[in-house]
Amino acid sequence: MKLSRKIASIQAILEAKIFNKRTPLLVNWEITRRCNARCKYCGIWDSTSKELDTKEVLAIIQELGLLGTQMIHFTGGEPLLREDIGIILDYCQKNNILTSMNSNGAYVPQRINEITTLYLLGISMDGPEDVHDHIRGKGSYRKAIEAITTARDKGIKLRLLAVLSECNLDVVDFLLGKSMEFNAPIIFQPATQLLLGAKTKNPIAPNLERYKQAIKKLIAKKSATKYIVNSVSGLNFLYNWPDMKRVRCLSQLVSCRIQSDGHVYICYRNQDQAVRKDEKRNSVKDSFSQLPFVHCNCCCCASSVELNCLLSLKLDTIFNSWGFI
């Protein structure tokens, strides 16, 4: 990110904190719930939801540009299952909005020329081949590695995403090694106790004692490596999972989530607090402004935790964020 834009982004976030001004600077967008993978900790693929068509998506992007949105983070499901993803990313660039995307990597090589406008591509990486494939399906590790090398060769900025579960708490060193090998910083977060997107118990939720040991290791290694995206404050917060301190979610000042059907939410964890665009026909601006402020103690999304630490003016997070935006 250019220095001027980096300064402007941090300034806008801090102004939101100081003046309590709500602006959707950072938008997380579940662009589809469809997915080719069947990860053991996720049930999103097994749900049904209306999906906005291209025209509807572009209309929202145009509105977000006028509202001052700085970045849209596309997630899913698997975003690359959208046939129009290239059109969507190009339109964001036309509206001066940076884009990032989470992907399992399976379709990156085939669609690489459509995603070159991405500011950041996140690839899921859960451990060595046997561990990664056990969690995500046979062959998924090799596809992830191919995606990483393909994107790197195209000059796309990379980030690895590691979900800490019962299966990979002992391979933190391996993950850090891969991060250094590919020059791709890595962010860690715990798997949820229930399947992501469902109300069924997660069969690979991490053992609490071993999970805490893994977080302690990351905290100890943080000062010695530039590749851990989480700040120490963020890791300390995640250390207390699942019994976290109840806090006012400051990220609500500057972020929101748009679901595949166009509903606007505070975040994935607060889907009962939504403004339904298709029923009330509200603009994104009205939907965002109507979202209630909530206090939450269930957030284990590392990016949201980092944003909350930033808005809480944690000095280490402020300095840490400078290197990763």
Instruction: Give the integer Cα–Cα distance in Å for 74 and 258.
Output: 10
Q: Which of 210, 223, 144, 229 is nearest to 171 (CA)?
A: 210
Residue reference for tokens 């939450």: 296
- pTM score, whole prediction: 0.91
Mean pLDDT of the chain: 89
Q: Which of 109, 324, 106 is nearest to 229 (CA)?
A: 324
Mean pLDDT in each 10-residue stretch from start to end of the chain (325 residues)? 68 76 90 93 81 96 94 95 98 96 97 97 98 97 98 97 97 97 96 82 93 97 95 94 76 88 80 53 82 74 87 86 72
Instruction: Give the integer Cα–Cα distance in Å for 106 and 146.
Output: 8
Instruction: Give the integer Cα–Cα distance in Å for 167 and 60.
Output: 39
> In the numeric block, which tokens belong to residue 93?
């660039």
DSSP state of 225: -
Specify the pLDDT at position 1: 64
Which residues lie below 8 Å from residue 285, measured CB to CB, with a gap of 6+?
63, 67
Instruction: Give the integer Cα–Cα distance in Å for 296 and 313.
Output: 18
Specify the pLDDT at position 19: 77
DSSP state of 268: G
Is 44:35 a contact under the CB 8 Å cutoff?
A: yes
Taken in order of first residue, the domains within the chain and their CATH numbers are 23-322 (3.20.20.70)
Specify the pLDDT at position 86: 98
Cα distances (Å, whole numbers) of residue 148 to 74, 106, 279, 300, 319: 18, 10, 41, 25, 27
Specify the pLDDT at position 239: 94
